[in-house]
Amino acid sequence: MREVVFDTETTGLSAANGDRLVEIGCVELVNRVETGRVFHVYINPERPMNPEAQAIHGLSDAFLADKQLFSDIVEDLLDFFDDSPLVAHNANFDFAFLNEELSRLNRPDIPQARMVDTLALSKVKFPGAKHSLDALCTRYGIDRSHRIKHGALLDAQLLSLVYVELTGGRQIGLGLADAPATLPDEPERPASARVARSPRPHEASPEELERHAAFVAKLSNPLWDLDKDKEGLAAA
């Protein structure tokens, strides 16, 4: 199963009020394992950066001035997404910005049915606990020491590790209980067609017993005879 874990950075908190995307980072998972494929871009938002947002991710107007517009990267982004489920932390926020950008280009929204929200998963699994990405990394022992500021690709990589833990850990896909009783190319046989085999004999043959007795007769002062000697001395 293919899934895409992604994160975004923005000029502010409200897509509806004109804030824009400035960074997108995506990580590909197949069967809950990172494949090494990523998608990462910085985007010129065509509007000034909110100072509070810049304090979080460190992306300035000057840095973003020569970056591509969303219209320049949208095809590559959608190709990377393909039709896979999209995993994000507080996914409603990221989906709102993605769909607002798509709407500006008269492109269809990404359906909410494709959304997997790790914030919602965390709230169900750990009610009353802290649910930030930092808190979940701490809970699962995931190293985030290199996370000085928010960054879309780095946060997507951390979130992919958190997501695997939230959904059962690395062993979720082992499927030992579902292993087939036949080889992949071997047709399944109905129970009525299976031939019962008689149990194999495990007792020693007369020849084996004879060889064993001959071997034992050659032993000098075996331990079991020492016990008999002690009994004879006690009786005397």
Kindly report, residue by residue over 129-177, the tens digit of the pLDDT. Answer: 999 999 999 999 999 888 777 899 999 999 999 999 999 886 544 444 4
* pLDDT given at position 179: 42
Tell me, yes or no, if 150 is annotated catalytic.
yes
Q: What's the DSSP call for residue 17?
A: T
Residue range 2-172 forms a domain whose CATH class is: alpha beta
What is the rounded CA–CA span in Å between residue 232 and residue 236? 6
User: Is the pLDDT score of 125 beyond 80?
Assistant: yes
* pLDDT given at position 8: 98
**Strand residues in the chain grouped as ranges (E):** 2-10, 21-30, 33-42, 86-88, 115-117
**Strand residues in 43-132 grouped as ranges (E):** 86-88, 115-117
pTM of the predicted model, to two decimals?
0.71
* pLDDT given at position 97: 98
Give me the residues paired with residue 87 across strands: 5, 116
User: Is the pLDDT score of 27 beyond 90?
Assistant: yes
Surface-to-core class of residue 208, CB atoms within 10 Å of its CB (0-12 exposed, 13-18 middle, 19+ buried): exposed
User: Is the pLDDT score of 118 beyond 50?
Assistant: yes
Active-site annotation holder among 89, 150, 202, 212: 150
Higher pLDDT, 33 or 188: 33
Where in the chain are the domains? 2-172, 208-235
Kindly report, residue by residue over 73-115, the tens digit of the pLDDT. Answer: 999 999 999 999 999 999 999 999 999 999 999 999 999 999 9
